[in-house]
Amino acid sequence: MRIAITGASGNAGTALLRTLHGKLASRPGSLELTGISRRLPDTSRAPYAAVAWHTLDIGLESDRSRLESALAGIDCVVHLAWQIQPNRDLDQLYRTNVTGTANVLEAARKAGVKQVVCASSVGAYSKAPKDRRSDESWPATGMAGSHYSRHKAAQEELLDRFAAAEPGIAVARLRPALIFQRGAGSEIGRYFLGPVIPRLLPGRLRIPLLPAPDDLIFQAVHADDVADAYWRVIDQRASGAFNIAAEPVLAPQELARILRARRILPIPMGLLHKLVGLAWQLHLVPTDSGWVEMAAGAPVMDTSRARRILGWEAKKSSVEAVLEVLEGIGTGEGVAPSPVLTPRQGMSSSQGISPSPGIPPRS
């Protein structure tokens, strides 16, 4: 099977390459891998070695012919490419995220690809109640105040139209929760906190007081578990949407345990929204308040369809995933061969697979 991955040097792409190389080790010659990215990683080092690489921008009209050439002879395209920065240039983000998805789908159609697997997100969903689980039938129409959510909803609409127009192509989409691994610590810290704040954080966070809204309830999943879900979709030629998240669901009480906070200071979600918006306007943080709106409205996903159809189960808990990325942010860890996941200067490189230390037991 010949598999092409857009965004192959990013957070999920790196984890997927690790998984696919593991499958190759047990089934030599069964897979041929193609990586597509805007910047070329160090192809002499794992997991980027033994991959045919194409450097191009999927959102550029001038690169469309190169994209079509890269997909020639491919059986399955896994579309992971996505941009969340620069947060202040929404035209550029739309070009990569929405126009880029349209270009990938058209190139896949022209190349005669038999399967398209796309990275959607919990952020594609419209606002949902937090007191019950939502399955894949919940509307994936986004939340107006978040550019990320709007773009994911637009991507979902493109996938719907493509699947209806191309019944001979298996079209699947994964809607993961927040995807974490240690090796993404530097990238996530840089994208969401900026260049300065992560340098001030210790490797193991411990705070006396956690200011958090009572309804700050979310899900997380380790990148390796997401990669396993992608592989199962590819291997089974599955189609449709799949919610992907680990347990437990994370509420402020669990987050306080992870951060070893002595107590929680409840603050209204509206106040947090205003504070983040002000910090963004003052250029103190690189992400706007739309991320708070999305966090407040995103559903608690029901993952039973992935378990039932794919046989998928997260091997790492959401707590382990959060611990890994917090430690990675504090220490500036990354994956040195990747220009996207590169460690902070002077910091260490990680494959994001080492175990996390434990947290205190539940009281």
Mean pLDDT, the chain, whole residue set? 91
- Provide the 3-class DSSP secondary structure of residue 349: strand
Same domain, 196 and 228: no
Same domain, 235 and 282: no
Same domain, 56 and 161: yes
Same domain, 87 and 231: yes
Same domain, 290 and 191: yes
- Provide the 3-class DSSP secondary structure of residue 4: strand
Q: What is the pLDDT of residues 264-318, one digit of tens each?
A: 888 999 999 999 999 999 999 999 999 999 999 999 999 999 999 999 999 999 9
Dist CA 314 CA 51 (whole Å): 27
Same domain, 106 and 211: no
Same domain, 143 and 210: no
Same domain, 127 and 210: no
What's the total number of domains in the chain? 2
- Most confident option among 59-63, 196-200, 211-215, 257-261: 59-63
Does 362 reside within a domain? Answer: no
Q: What is the CATH number of the domain that holds 169?
A: 3.40.50.720
Same domain, 128 and 209: no
Q: What is the pLDDT of residues 175-201, one digit of tens each?
A: 999 999 999 999 998 888 877 665 555
Q: Percent of the chain having pLDDT more than 70?
A: 92
Does 342 reside within a domain? Answer: no
Mean pLDDT of 120-133: 97
- List C-alpha distances in Å: 136 to 175, 229, 301: 9, 15, 8
The full DSSP string for 154-198 is HHHHHHHHHHHH-TTSEEEEEEESEEE-GGGHHHHHHHHHTTTGG
- In the chain the beta strands, taken as DSSP E runs, fall at 2-6, 32-37, 52-55, 76-79, 115-119, 133-134, 170-176, 178-180, 209-212, 220-222, 240-244, 263-266, 300-301
Does 186 reside within a domain? Answer: yes
Does 46 reside within a domain? Answer: yes
Domain of 295, in residue numbers: 181-219+249-299+316-331
Does 25 reside within a domain? Answer: yes
Q: Which of 12-16, 50-54, 202-206 has the lowest mean pLDDT?
A: 202-206
